Structure 1
Amino acid sequence: MNKVLPFTVVCLFVVAVLGRVRVAEAVSCNPVELSSCSGAITSGMNPSSICCNKLKQQEECLCGYIKNPALGPYVNSPGAKRVASKCRVPIPSC
């Protein structure tokens, strides 16, 4: 019985630490973060590494952007789809 308590405490500690790390990794959805992609989307140029990094960071937010009437047409535009493809970020079907 004495050996079970320390093991349980260690397990709870690990779960608590991992839970905090996961919260710290949460993405803040902000479409303005994707402004570095605007040139590539509108001109047909290749996206910059900054654009691709931001797009990958915002990947979890894309479905929300698509559902937003003001942002959806941009995210679903041919230029945005081309940039996402070049950055290897899938556009979700929401």
Structure 2
Amino acid sequence: MKPAAQVVLAVVAAWAVILLVCGGAPRGAEAATTCNALQLTPCAGAIVGNSAPTAACCSRLKEQEPCLCTYARDPNLQRYVNSPNGKNTLATCKVPMPSC
């Protein structure tokens, strides 16, 4: 291979790596949030029962806010997000209801 072709190939490969790294990285709050519904365990009493949400519950809801649409679309979780107690818990914790 000619030296000029090797340089062009190296530049193209470098740009491909840069685009993959920049394009594939999550941005904003989603970058710092790992979506895991088990993180909302402190909210079980408020969402499933009738107890008031705890400070720990509200803190976790705020951390998981970027994930709420994912949970609302999950057939196993959507009934909790969309339930009256789920909506009340979000409102009490001042976390907006997701508009997915």
**TM-score between both structures, scaled by the size of structure 2:** 0.67
Is the counterpart of residue 56 in structure 1 residue 71 in structure 2?
no
Is the counterpart of residue 35 in structure 1 residue 44 in structure 2?
no
Identity in percent: 46
Q: Unaligned 5+ residue runs, structure 1?
A: 1-21
After superposition, the C-alpha distances for 1:8-60 in whole angstroms (9 at most, x for unaligned) are xxxxxxxxxxxxxx69x510000000010011122222110000000000000
Q: Give the alignment of 1:16-31 within 5 angstroms.
A: 26-31=32-37
**TM-score between both structures, scaled by the size of structure 1:** 0.71
SS in 2 for 1:70: coil
AA in 2 matched with 1:70: N
- C-alpha separation between the residues in 1 aligned to 2:35 and 2:49? 25
AA in 1 matched with 2:77: L
For 1:67, the equivalent position in structure 2 comes to: 73
Which of 70, 84, 89 is equivalent to 1:78? 84
Q: Unaligned 5+ residue runs, structure 2?
A: 1-27
Larger Rg over CA atoms:
2
Moved over 3 A (4+): none
Which of 78, 90, 93 is equivalent to 2:96? 90
RMSD between superposed Cα atoms in Å = 2.1
SS in 1 for 2:67: helix
AA in 2 matched with 1:82: N
